[in-house]
Amino acid sequence: MAPTKLHLFLEETAFYNRILLGSLFPSELWTPIPHFLQSWLRNYIGGVLLYLLSGSLWCFYIYYLKRNVYVPKDCIPSRRGMLLQIGVAMKAMPWYTLLPTVSEYMIEHGWTRCFPLISDVGWTAYLGNLLIYLVIVEFGIYWMHRELHDIKPLYKYLHATHHIYNKQNTLSPFAGLAFHPVDGILQAVPHIIALFLVPAHLTTHIALLFIEAIWTANIHDCIDGKMWPVMGAAYHTIHHTTYRHNYGHYTVWMDWMFGTLRDPSEEEAGKKVT
């Protein structure tokens, strides 16, 4: 890879560091820190702010402003339960945010197939590569998630931490990142694997990693958005109650292909019959 591209990668991540760290701390406090640690600190602070702000705003909207509209009163999780979920996520956050920091390090050193500018490949190639990237991520997260259930030691020591939230009144947007840190990292690893398989845009890759925090909050709110083929909260709530269905991430396609899909509309119809 040409040195100019590596320079652009480093320039971009340094720019993000200046925006966040420079707005929060005097320069003499953070500029002497090595670039890798600056990037980790920026990712950590950004991850914490994104998690707390998005979760708080969403909970305020669905549980208070729209009380009994989206979620029945008796299904709203307790404040204590949500604080416990926040505690689990906060313990894991330093480790979660190490993953994008490591991916940036690999990109900056030219170890991946990343490119710095969309103009390097053109919009058609960018969109095509992005689609392939998302398919790889979807496939990878499906199988990583499924194996975290099927391999008993992985479930017992890692994934069970997340599955203590197994009823509607224990699930909330804050449960989205309430994982054992190793579990959370494993489920995000497909984003890193994709960097070695398909040309990816640096900014888009970083954005997609942080969008995960918003997406996981969304699929734990128990609200049925009814947007097929999106693997929304209604599908994921079934996953938290049956443990054997709906392992997918953004869409239902992997569960459909591999025979683990359970449709919430069929579930609702079954309840009405009984």
Whether the full predicted model's pTM is greater than 0.75, yes or no, is yes
- The pLDDT assigned to 38 comes to 97
What's the rounded Cα separation, in Å, for the pair 72 and 263? Answer: 21
What's the rounded Cα separation, in Å, for the pair 2 and 12? Answer: 16
How confident is residue 273, by pLDDT bands cut at 50, 70 and 90? very low
Rounded to the nearest 10 degrees, the angle between the axes of helix 233-242 and helix 264-273 is 60
- pLDDT exceeds 60 at position 189: yes
User: Mean of the per-residue pLDDT values for the chain?
Assistant: 91
How confident is residue 165, by pLDDT bands cut at 50, 70 and 90? confident
Where do we find the tokens 């990816």?
Answer: 200
- The pLDDT assigned to 28 comes to 94
